[in-house]
Amino acid sequence: MIPTAPRRAGHRPTALPWLRVQLTYLYSHGRPARIAEPRLFTEYVQHRKLHDHDPRYPGLADKVTAKEHVATILGDDWIIPTLWHGTALPDRPDFPRPFVVKSRHGCNQRAFVRSPDVDWQALRRRADRWVSRRYGYWLDEWLYAHIPPGVLIEPFIGPDGALPIDYKLFVFGGRVAFVQVHLARETAHRWIVVDRDWRAAGGNGSRSGTVPGRPVSLPAMIDAAETLAKDFDFVRVDFYEVAGQPKFSEMTFYPGSGLYRLDPIALDREMGLLWASARDSGSR
């Protein structure tokens, strides 16, 4: 069983978090968010941040406990092994290279160790900063305050030293509707959104980009995502594909903090309708 945060039923945000959320949304999207009556997907993310403090979220977003949960449901073959985890990196990097260092309690806090020439002491100091700072505060992402701060190390799973393609499955009411495909994340990062039948739906640069090939394990990813997300109105479940086999990455409850633009806006609207329908049908 995953650890849970305290239940905060009927949570009502104070004026300061509401104002922060409105200002960051206005800056990112050029319009205020309809938080009380959301219609767009990105508005529903803001509503969740302020009003939905489900105690299951932290344990499922925790990069250590989420693996235990997923392994119990899907099996160990879906999991990227954890080589080490703790609150401060060890004095020496006695792990087989290449490997990945990441925070357990935050997003976009990671480093790739491919060479013995890495400045390990500098990386230790960087990881210490991850642990010492409260992640998610300024974006009012409540759940991260309830994940134990820490660091973990995993084997690098990309082919020939390159990062693997990241497949992020958007699950509404227990059904996968869209997949966000992240490409060339260290060089010319772009992402494209496709529907579950692998037809282009949008992205960032989708007008000029081409849809990548469909992963052979997509049906297995869809089944797994729908199994993990069946009790939620919305959650994004992320996977990689390694030698044709799917590997679980993480579960995300605030994708992009709702601040990345979905192009075209019709996609933002369609995802919002799917979220509304899931809520109305009682998927929670």
Helix (H, G, I), strand (E, B) or coil at 178: strand
Share of the chain above pLDDT 70, in %: 93
206 — pLDDT class (breaks 50, 70, 90): very low
Q: Which tens digits make up the pLDDT trace of 116-141?
A: 999 999 999 999 999 998 888 889 99
Residue 14 lies in a domain: no
Question: Lowest mean pLDDT: which of 52-61, 168-177, 179-188, 255-264?
Answer: 179-188
% pLDDT > 90, the chain: 79
130 lies in a domain? yes
* CB-CB contact of 43 with 24 (8 Å): no
Residue 183 in any domain: the answer is no
Flag whether 168 is in a domain.
no
Residue with tokens 């305290």: 6
140 part of a folded domain: yes
SS3 state at 202:
strand
The structural domain count of the chain equals: 1
Provide the mean pLDDT of the chain: 92
- Residue at token pair 């000029």: 208
For residue 130, give its domain range: 84-160
Q: Is the peptide bond before 93 cis (omega within 30 degrees of 0)?
A: no
Place 284 in a pLDDT band, splitting at 50, 70 and 90.
low
61 falls within a domain: no
Q: Is residue 218 part of a domain?
A: no
111 in a structural domain = yes
Burial of 81 (0-12, 13-18, 19+ CB in 10 A): exposed
Q: What's the pTM value of the predicted model, to 2 decimals?
A: 0.92
SS3 for 249-282 is EEEECCHHHHCCCCECHHHHHHHHHHHHHHHHCC
> Residue 6 pLDDT > 70, yes or no?
no
Min mean pLDDT across 13-22, 39-48, 81-90 is at: 13-22
Mean pLDDT of 263-273: 95
